[in-house]
Structures are given as C-alpha cells and as structure tokens.
Amino acid sequence: MDKKTIAIAAILGATGIILGAFGAHGLKKLIEPDSIAVFETGVKYQMYHALFLLFIGIVTRISDKAKKTILILTVLGVLFFSGSIYFLACNSLFAFDFKTIGFITPVGGLLLISVWVVLFLQIMKQKE
C-alpha cells in the first residue's frame, strides 16, 4: 500500500508541475487572466494533495485500511476538484460547456476535506 500511495503521489506531483507550467506558459495567450488564476487553483490543490499522499505513504502510525481509504478519496477528490477546475478554466477552448458539470467541483472539495477528517480520526484513535 505504501509503495502504491507514494507512486500515485509522484504521478500527481509530476502532472501538477506539468499542468502548472502549461497554465503559466501555454495558456497565457489562449484564456483570460482570471481563468489562468482559476487554473492555478486546481494546480495548487493537486500539488497539496500529492504532498499529502507522500506523507501518508511514509507515516507508519496509520492503518493500512485507513491509508487505502485516504488514497481512494484523495485521488477521486483531485480528479473531481482539480480536474473540473482545469476544464472550467479552459471552458472557452471547448465546444462543450463544462459549466454544466460544475457541480463536480464541490463534490471533489468535500472528498478532499474528508481525507483530512479520516487522518484526524485515525490519529485520535491512537494511544500516545
């Protein structure tokens, strides 16, 4: 589980850097500055949670069951939250109106909040 978690953290981190560079350089002439800022929000949250998963992968005080739950919720949360933000920020570049699926963004946010709650509960269960 730890190897898988760290590997996924590395993938999220690498793609976060790629998307960040694309947002800073490739999108500059294609979308409005406000949309670039929105895109960067998606990148930030992806990177925060890549580091979070890296931490989860190296911590030994969390059960494997909790680590699996955290991994699944984090990946889904990043896909829903950051993924939808990427598409919403670039909405003007597509024929499809991604605003119709904008409800996915807060669902992803709730998933990301829930992983932190799972971590909190796991830590509170433990004896000193």
Report, as an integer, the average pLDDT of 23-47: 94
Stated pTM of the model: 0.93
**Residue 21 token pair:** 């560079």
d(CA 104, CA 119): 23
d(CA 24, CA 17): 10
pLDDT, residue 124, reads: 92
Q: Say if residue 128's pLDDT is above 80.
A: no
pLDDT, residue 3, reads: 93
pLDDT, residue 49, reads: 98
d(CA 49, CA 39): 16
Q: pLDDT digits over 42-96, tens only? A: 999 999 999 999 999 999 989 999 999 999 999 999 999 999 999 999 999 999 9
